[in-house]
Amino acid sequence: MIISVLLLSALCFVGLKTQCPEPSSLKDAEGNKLCARLFEDSHYYNEQSCSGQYLDVYPMDDVPIVPIGWNNRISSLVVAPRCTLTAWSRSKKEGKKHKFSSGIQYRLKEVAQGLFGNWNDDISGYYCEQAQCLRQPPTVPLTPLGLTPTAPSFIIRMIKRA
């Protein structure tokens, strides 16, 4: 009896797919890099969390008022590497504030808000920041101006005259 129960639970476990995406694989349907993905539901089994509908957040998205239908609804979320999602409990960046760094947050109800509250169904605004180092490095300009930081001033004067 115990063995069959164990077998059954093992089979069930195999059948369950992890729903929370890996932070490093966060992309929208078109393959664009995301800053975060916010989910409607959570579950006490990690494997079944990040469920329901979801809202995609792009790097540098500044959303003081969440889209219609999403206020106080988010229950789990995933933040991409080198990204930080700042959330507010009230719209227009008011109320309580929390910074979510990269990773999977299976249950927002486990994230404390103040002494007694939690963040489940309580996000009303957000801002997703991406670390500077992920941006394209600036291409070194080959114009005379590009020499300014290192070239002695007489060289710059020569270039300007030429």
Tell me which of 121, 144, 151, 159 binds Ca ion, using CB under 5 A.
121
The yes or no reply on residue 124 touching Ca ion (CB under 5 A) is: no
Which of 23, 63, 70, 75 touches Ca ion by CB under 5 A? Answer: 75
Per-residue contact string for residues 13-52; x = within reach of Ca ion by CB under 5 A: ----------------------------------------
Q: Which two tokens stand for residue 35?
A: 């800053």
Candidate ranges 10-18, 74-82, 104-112, 150-158; the one touching Ca ion (CB under 5 A): 74-82
